[in-house]
Amino acid sequence: MELSYRPFELELKHPFTIAKFSRTSTPLILLEIRHEGHTGYGEASMVPYMGESHQTAAEFLNKVDVSQFKYPFDFEAIINYLDSIASGNPAVKAAIDIALHDLDGKIQGKPCWQLLGSDPALMPVTSYTVGIDTPEVLIQKVKEAGDCRVIKVKLGRDSDKELINTIRSVTSLPLYVDANQGWTDRQQSLDMCHWLQQQGVMLIEQPFTKTDPGSNAWLSDRSPIPIIGDEAVQRLGDVDKANGIYNGINIKLMKSAGMYEAHKMIERAKELGLKVLIGCMSETSCATLAAAALAPQCDWADIDGPFLVSNNPFQIPEFRDGKWVLSNEAGLGLR
């Protein structure tokens, strides 16, 4: 087994602004693992607030010894090995996990979604995310939503209602809302939830800071719309902690350290009666297909990476009626 990788800078079509920051590109690692004549592709998307970078990824990968992967597709053993090298680093761990899933599918001649037990007929629609912006740019972004059937709106500033009104002036599509920890007042937030429900909002992500479980739980108990933990939920152990605080969780491969643990998180969330949104960072078609392979097991999907970037090195997978189409190709189906 042979591992190689290269740093890559993924450019965004528009500067992306959410409650706490703004950026125009995202550092990636594009990774390949070769074994028995097949190549598996993986990707790490390292959004700055998660603390990973080209440098931290290179430092981590320098310590990875692929000869330690005794049986290459014992994902539990591999994630334990990667965690033993260093804690954190979930995106670069995800890159290895995704490449191994792709490789596993190619060697077995089966698509990843099938190996993970997903039913393509249950694929949810994927939302199209618009960041915080001026009304003119917001309207332009909504027009770029193309075939998407749901718009995800970033809130968390004083102008939240104006922003929703602007979007409602150009589309009647259902909305998801992400406050990215930007809300601070409980009663004001509850009033906002009722108002947002009237505006056709289906869910709200991370209203209060993740360090305030009390306010998040207070709102989850009262909100007419499901409250979803995102920043508060990274890996498997966080699912149980989210129970009783949120109505659901947002799983992202770049937080969960890959597909294996994301699958475990979906199963655990279902046991606890938590709803599941599967999301993404700024990603190419590689991580998009990895998330899409699990999306049929989730309630909602927000896997819009390829729509928001301008230099995706791979083909954009087939997208129809607002949903990713899972192909019968072995592995991820990446081209």
* Binding interface with Mg ion (CB under 5 A): 178, 205, 230
Pick 42 or 131: Cβ nearer Mg ion? 131
Minimum distance of Mg ion from residue 250's CB (angstroms): 6
Instruction: List, in order, residues 6 or more apart from 322 with CB less than 8 Å away.
Output: 125, 126, 147, 148, 149, 150
Q: Which is nearer to Mg ion, 179 or 293 (CB)?
A: 179
User: Considering only CA atoms, which of 117, 124, 79 is closest in space to residue 98?
Assistant: 79
Q: Provide the pairing of β-strand 22-35 with 319-320.
A: unpaired
Which of 230/299 has CB closer to Mg ion?
230
Measured from the CB atom, the residue of 106 and 152 that comes closer to Mg ion is: 152
Q: Which is nearer to Mg ion, 300 or 324 (CB)?
A: 300
Cβ 331 to Mg ion shortest distance, Å: 28
Query: What is the spatial distance between Cα 38 and Cα 110, in angstroms, rounded to a whole number?
Result: 13
Inter-residue contact 65 to 82 (CB < 8 Å): no
Q: What angle do CA 276, 142, 159 make, to 5 degrees?
A: 80
How far apart are alpha carbons 237 and 249 in whole angstroms? 12
Evaluate whether 155 touches 182 at the Cβ level (below 8 Å).
yes
Cβ at position 187, least distance to Mg ion in Å: 23
Q: Output 96 or 177, the one with its CB closest to Mg ion.
A: 177
298, two tokens = 């989730």
CB of 22 to Mg ion, least distance (A): 15
**HEC readout, 14-62:** EEEECCCCEEEEEEEEEEEEEECCEEEEEEEECCHHHCCCHHHHHHHHH
DSSP state, residue 297? G
The minimum distance between CB 255 and Mg ion, in angstroms, equals 10
Q: How far is the CB of 252 from Mg ion (least distance, A)?
A: 8
Q: Residue number with the shortest CB distance to Mg ion?
A: 230
- 84 class by beta-carbon count within 10 Å (0-12 exposed, 13-18 middle, 19+ buried): exposed
Q: How far is the CB of 268 from Mg ion (least distance, A)?
A: 20
For residue 275, give the nearest of 300, 248, 251 by alpha carbon: 248
Instruction: Write down the least CB distance from residue 130 to Mg ion, Å.
Output: 13
Question: Between residues 230 and 283, which has the closer beta carbon with respect to Mg ion?
Answer: 230
Nearer to Mg ion, 16 or 60 (CB): 16
HSE at residue 213, side-chain half, CA atoms within 13 A, is: 9
